[in-house]
Homo-oligomer: A and B are copies of this chain.
């Protein structure tokens, strides 16, 4: 069996920084170079260079009349189903479908993505594409969290952070990095089905010197080498039997964890459980 990193793959880099000569730009360029040299095919959505329209509105739908009352979700559903989405949205959806892995390169601004990247999510993640997928009935809430349109793809965040690493630890003042990224890693990447790798985080990036760049580059390359082989975060599948019919984690699971971490499969817990049954184990 060939080493997975030698199998040519398609990789989409979604890159959001206004300055090409930034650390973010350097990391994006490094990723393109390194992955291409390994035989992968790489495409970049450089949101600032593309002048990506960040703001979701009625102009995203070719069939939306000016002055017509807008429910963005319903309009998105109808335009997606009817082939009437704005072409810039369609182009990004096609890139996502083409990709085997998606890398997001951006600076943490106010503990989240820059607005231009949030606007890429808001607009590209159409109803019928990223949500509202699969059967929705009394007990089943569609294909999401590990299933959905983007299943079979991997995703990784590469974030630059002005602050210091201790501030982002489990007891650090800013909150733990995994907690801060949960809305993105779980709610944006895992939701439509992608497997999510642990993030690559660079700290104190405003003070990074030229001398420190080689060590950052080396660490990043190691993560790029593991893009298809590293273990993803063990988020629980929505339809894997861990949640009850109200989409609440069943008693007995996640014992000893709390907060966002109860949504990670704990060591010793089965990845899949019978769907629809009650508690898989007594609640200790």
Contact of A182 among B169, B179, B187, B261 (CB under 8 A): B179
Is A33's CB within 8 Å of the partner chain B? no
Is A83's CB within 8 Å of the partner chain B? no
Is A260's CB within 8 Å of the partner chain B? yes
CA distance A186 to B110 in the complex (A): 10
Copies of this chain, count: 2
Residues of chain B contacted by A249 (CB below 8 angstroms): 171-173
Cross-chain contact A121 with B116 (CB below 8 angstroms): no
List residues 147-172 of chain A with CB under 8 A from any CB of chain B. 162, 164, 166-167, 169-172
Per CB-CB distance, the 6 closest pairs between chain A and chain B, nearest first, are A259-B259, A115-B119, A111-B187, A111-B183, A171-B249, A115-B118
Which residues of A are at the interface with B, using a C-beta cutoff of 8 A?
Answer: 18-19, 21-22, 48, 54-58, 69-74, 109-116, 118-119, 121-122, 125, 141, 145, 162, 164, 166-167, 169-176, 179-180, 182-184, 186-188, 191, 206, 238, 243, 246-249, 254, 257-263
User: Assuming the A-B contacts A111-B187, A260-B259, are A173 and B247 also in contact, with contact meaning beta carbons closer than 8 angstroms in the complex?
Assistant: yes
Contact of A113 among B55, B118, B187, B258 (CB under 8 A): B118
User: Assuming the A-B contacts A55-B116, A258-B259, are A175 and B182 also in contact, with contact meaning beta carbons closer than 8 angstroms in the complex?
Assistant: yes
User: Assuming the A-B contacts A56-B18, A115-B54, A258-B258, are A188 and B110 also in contact, with contact meaning beta carbons closer than 8 angstroms in the complex?
Assistant: yes
